[in-house]
Amino acid sequence: MPIKIPLSAPDIGEDEIAAVTAVLRTPRLSLGEKLVEFESKFASYVDCAHAVAVSSGTAALHLAGLVAGLQPGDEVIVPSFTFIAVANAVRYAGAIPVFVDIEPQNLNLAPVAVEAAVTEKTRAIIAVHTFGVPASMDELLKIAQRHNLRVIEDACEAIGAEYRGRKAGSLGDVGVFGFYPNKQITTGEGGMLVTNDAKMAEHARMLRNQGRSASGEWFEHEELGYNYRISEINCALGIVQLARIKEILAQRAAVAAMYDQRLRGIADLQLRPLEIAQGKISWFVYVVQLAERFRGAGRDRVATLLTERGIACGRYFAPIHLQRAYQNVPHRCMDLAVTESIAERTLALPFFNRITPEQVDEVCSALKDALA
């Protein structure tokens, strides 16, 4: 059966379409006023002094590592239970990913495991706010301070999330966001680097534009740079989406609550909490953990049964350290027992701003049938 309920869907309205069309009526499609406006409004939203818009969240991660000073041979502590771009960005800088286990409660880096992974080669920690749930930043920042490490926050899934009253992405040395179409807000393709360090921001702006300085000539380059520019079209879309962020986050929280109400109490499911004591969740996806007896092939069979009924689902995340791309490249693994167990039992259900109660009902009914 063809997919009738997708895993995700962008929420684009007439205001977004009008904003994009307006840019197309101007002669400036790159490095223009919309870029400046998007950066300014985003910096204000996350309460950081500087924001640098780029072509993707992956590009933002790459630049974050470079402006944080990563050098070939440095070690960077990362989770394996996350999107592969986190570790790839470390490799782009010539550094070595060190895969560390996660906490079963929030699915983020376990501070105790992070502490145990630190060596004389460690230079940074990448704290991912997985599924929009803030990582244990107090503990991670204390570890970083003790060992003189940089902290890069990957908030690509967590725009609007809060940790003890501060926005995710604003607590470390540098934060990154992504705006792919499955994210809370989208620019089509795009990302953002945020920091309170003016030199880091200036360096990132130079690197995203082929290594050109702001005051230099177009064909003069100060260092090796990249084409990580983002278009005015993407920025115009982002400005309108960001203006709706409060409404969007409320819609997504309401969808999570619908799922929770319908699935609560099923013996074979462990649901994520709707609220956390130390902050605020920004709902990126809605994931459930299946009972241990479904681990691996059982979870995959449930996913197949949902797909056969036209319902998309996602097996988030395939651990990075087990993927072919990491079998013959330098990396280091700590004990990853929690990561491997949870990865084989986790399933993401259809989740987007305008999913209807009837669609949620259909997904939940199909899931219950598949579990049975």
DSSP state string for 210-265? TT--TTS-TT--SS---B---BHHHHHHHHHHHHTHHHHHHHHHHHHHHHHHHHTT
Interval 222-276: pLDDT, tens:
999 999 999 999 999 999 999 999 999 999 999 999 999 999 999 999 999 999 9
Q: How many CB atoms lie within 10 A of CB 318?
A: 14
Structural tokens at position 99: 């895969």
C-alpha of 352 from chain center: 16
DSSP state of 25: T
On the CB side of 128, how many CA atoms lie within 13 Å of its CA?
A: 30
Q: Evaluate if residue 1 carries a pLDDT over 80.
A: no
Mean pLDDT of all residues in 301-327:
97
Taking the C-alpha atoms of residue 201 and residue 50, their distance in angstroms, rounded to an integer, is: 6
User: Is the overall model pTM greater than 0.85, yes or no?
Assistant: yes
pLDDT for res 28:
97
Output Rg (C-alpha) for the chain, integer angstroms.
Answer: 21
Phi, psi of 127 (to 5 degrees): -95, 110
Taking the C-alpha atoms of residue 6 and residue 247, their distance in angstroms, rounded to an integer, is: 21
Any idea what the Cα angle at residue 244 is, between residues 242 and 246, rounded to 5°?
100
Confidence of residue 157 (pLDDT cuts 50, 70, 90): very high
At 324 the three-state DSSP class reads helix
Mean pLDDT of all residues in 113-129:
98
Q: How many CB atoms lie within 10 A of CB 34?
A: 27
Q: How many CB atoms lie within 10 A of CB 224?
A: 9
On the CB side of 352, how many CA atoms lie within 13 Å of its CA?
A: 17
Taking the C-alpha atoms of residue 123 and residue 185, their distance in angstroms, rounded to an integer, is: 32
Sequence-distant (≥ 6) Cβ neighbours of residue 357 within 8 angstroms: 258
Any idea what the Cα angle at residue 279 is, between residues 133 and 134, rounded to 5°?
25
pLDDT for res 217:
85
Structural tokens at position 319: 């651990």
Place of tokens 């309460």: 47
CA distances from 195 to 8, 16, 40 (A): 30, 27, 12
Taking the C-alpha atoms of residue 291 and residue 285, their distance in angstroms, rounded to an integer, is: 19
Q: Evaluate if residue 94 carries a pLDDT over 80.
A: yes
Structural tokens at position 95: 């550094």
- Domains of the chain (ranges plus CATH)? 14-243 (3.40.640.10), 245-371 (3.90.1150.10)
Which residues are the active-site residues? 183
